[in-house]
Amino acid sequence: MKIVVFQGGLGNQLFQYAFYRYLEQQCDIKRLCYIFVENAHNGFEVDKYFETSLRPANKLWTLLWWFSDKLHKRGIRFLTSYEDDECPTARLFVEGYWQHRRYLHPNLIRFKDIPLDNRNLEIIEQMKDCESVSIHIRRGDYMLPYFHRIYGDVCTLAYYQKAIEVVRKQLPQARFFIFSDDIEWTRNNLIVERAVCIDWNVGEKSVIDMYMMTYCKANIIANSSFSYWGARLNVNDHPLVVYPKKWFNAVFTAPDIFPNIWIGL
């Protein structure tokens, strides 16, 4: 038996689900389950909005994980494996973010039917009918001191301006659709001609922003797993995607998750 630990927001949960599917297909595991251990962002969303084959573990296993996690923080590794192991077999629980291309088979990840109001449906129709480009700007929790040290000041205004130049060379009639968790800051700082700011899908409806990004002909993403999946699940053939080569600050290096055809700046 193996239990995959899910945590974080929707973008990270999708990486963990990709790893879960990898274990199903590539590793000899007789019984595979999951637990969700973090109530950040909007809770457990991947099973709510995506077609999955997830099997939940009994709640008693969650209590056992908490016990194992407390021991690990005291330097005692008990039941949980944290290594970036292709087929981890040593311990009961498997915890990590698993951001590596070896686990990524996006054809196995599909949205469920997302109910959309008329305003979102109208925007999607516009995206289909023009050289649509999504721009995602992540601020929110990235502005908090702990996260800012890791993620902050990576996707600067200069990055977005350069990305827009790159896109316009290939899509001269580009029309931009801007998504952000700080749309007021974006309006005041990133001036883009022919842009539409999507500012109404908030809270639990924020998943709709990711869904809408998949319809754009091109994506300019932030150093965010949320906009990464908006681009990775793009429904168009060979979409143009621009991403920041620098994904983290400090000692962290960018994860190996970017298709070769994407353009890194």
Q: Which CATH number applies to 116-264? A: 3.40.50.11350
β-pair partners for 110: 51
pLDDT score of 69: 67
Please name the amino acid found at residue 241: V
Q: Give residue 36's pLDDT band: very low, low, confident or very high (50, 70, 90).
A: very high
Q: What was the pLDDT predicted at 94?
A: 85
pLDDT of residue 61: 81
pLDDT (tens digit, 9 = 90+) per residue, 203-255? Answer: 889 999 999 999 999 999 999 999 999 999 999 999 999 999 999 887 678 89
pLDDT digits (tens, 9 = 90+) for 21-35: 988 888 878 889 998
* Domain spans in the chain, listed from the N-terminal domain onward: 2-108, 116-264
| Tens-digit pLDDT profile for residues 122-159 | 999 999 999 999 999 999 888 888 888 888 889 999 99
| Distance separating alpha carbons of residues 166 and 168, to the nearest angstrom | 6
- Bridge-based pairing of strands 131-137 and 195-198 is unpaired
Q: What is the C-alpha to C-alpha distance for residues 211 and 145, in angstroms, rounded to an integer? A: 29
